[in-house]
Amino acid sequence: MPIDSVILLVKYFTGRLDQAARLIFEVKKESTLKQIRNQGSTWLYYLILLLAVPALLAGLAGCAGNEASSTGNDDVSEVSEVALEPTAAPATPTDEAIATADSEEVIVAEAVEPSTCFDCHTDKDLLIATADPEEEVISENEGEG
């Protein structure tokens, strides 16, 4: 850190900024003084920040606490659970589904609800048990096709 800045800082905290500036003015050109004044301003800003940031954080913490207490509401909790369900509607919902639908969630629930098609076609043993016997087709083709 330049010595000028150190002097300025010391004088600032002792309430003698102008005196410090004059002192430096005696040994430096005007342009240098302007630079030092600016540096003095920068330090002032740093100080303000040091004081303001903790206050801001404390304020935010208070707000967060209020929000946390408001999410304890049961209704909102239900919304979160619903949001975990698939939200895409079927490409072409059935008339029945549309007629009984009070909300988008109901339509989705009906569309993805396991059907007898799904129950059977995901059950290997059931498929084996209910498979039609395959007709043996004797090819009459001769040679490569």
**Residue 100 vs 115, nearer CB to another protein:** 115
DSSP string across 12-63: HHTT-HHHHHHHHHHHS-HHHHHHHHHHHHHHHHHHHHHHHHHHHHHHHHHH
Regarding 121 and contact with another protein (CB under 8 A), the answer is yes
Q: Which of 26, 95, 132, 136 binds another protein (CB under 8 A)?
A: 132
**Residue 54 vs 90, nearer CB to another protein:** 90
Amino acid at 87: T
Contacts of 37 (CB under 8 A, 6+ apart): 21
State the first-to-last Cα distance of the chain, in angstroms, to the nearest integer: 90
Q: Which of 50, 61, 91, 99 binds another protein (CB under 8 A)?
A: 91
Contacts of 85 (CB under 8 A, 6+ apart): 105, 108, 109
Binding window for another protein (CB under 8 A); candidates: 11-19, 32-40, 75-83, 89-97: 89-97
Regarding 141 and contact with another protein (CB under 8 A), the answer is yes
**Residue 75 vs 132, nearer CB to another protein:** 132
| Tokens standing for residue 58 | 């404390």
Q: Least distance to another protein from the beta carbon of 111, Å?
A: 5
Q: Least distance to another protein from the beta carbon of 91, Å?
A: 6
**Residue 15 vs 114, nearer CB to another protein:** 114
